[in-house]
Amino acid sequence: MVKSASKNRPGSAPSPGAAKQTGSFIYSDGSRYEGEYIEQDNANSASANSSRQRSGTGTYTCARSGCVYTGSWIADAMGGGKGKIVYPTGASYEGLWHQSKYAGQGVYTFPDGSQHDGEWADGRMHGAGTFTDAKGKKWVGVCDMGFGADLAPEIV
């Protein structure tokens, strides 16, 4: 089933009793979503349109950037569980999400194959983690909102 998607406000809660459905959307910019969603009537709105919120598990392909996200959705935002995004550069992130940002435990793989495996907050490395460079050398420690000043080489 192909539907054209309406513009939704991420983070707005679905109305009670909205039924979960499965389908595919093609957005006006060419982006695609395939997966679970909730459709609700906007009875209190000035327009008679319904709105769809991605909710559950699904795959979103962004036409503009080329990135592909597969995982959990809640209130039309990436989050509420695990997911993986792959960028056209070859970089990827796999782990927990909250409101479309990396949050909790996750692994970011850089295009050169180096990785950061650790805690994330608000889309940044934050908390305990291990950085492994492309040659396999490891640094362990704590990152603070994207900065790894406390990372030290792992002693083997």
Residue 50: what pLDDT? 62
Name the pLDDT band for 143 (thresholds 50, 70, 90): very high
pTM for the model stands at: 0.81
Average pLDDT of the chain?
Answer: 86
Question: How much of the chain exceeds pLDDT 90, in percent?
Answer: 70
Name every residue whose Cβ is closer than 8 Å to that of residue 37 and which is 6 or more positions away in sequence: 20, 21, 22, 23, 25, 52, 53, 54, 55, 56, 58, 73
Name every residue whose Cβ is closer than 8 Å to that of residue 44 and which is 6 or more positions away in sequence: none
- pLDDT tens for residues 61-102? 999 999 999 999 999 999 989 999 999 999 999 999 999 999
- pLDDT tens for residues 110-131? 999 999 999 999 999 999 999 9
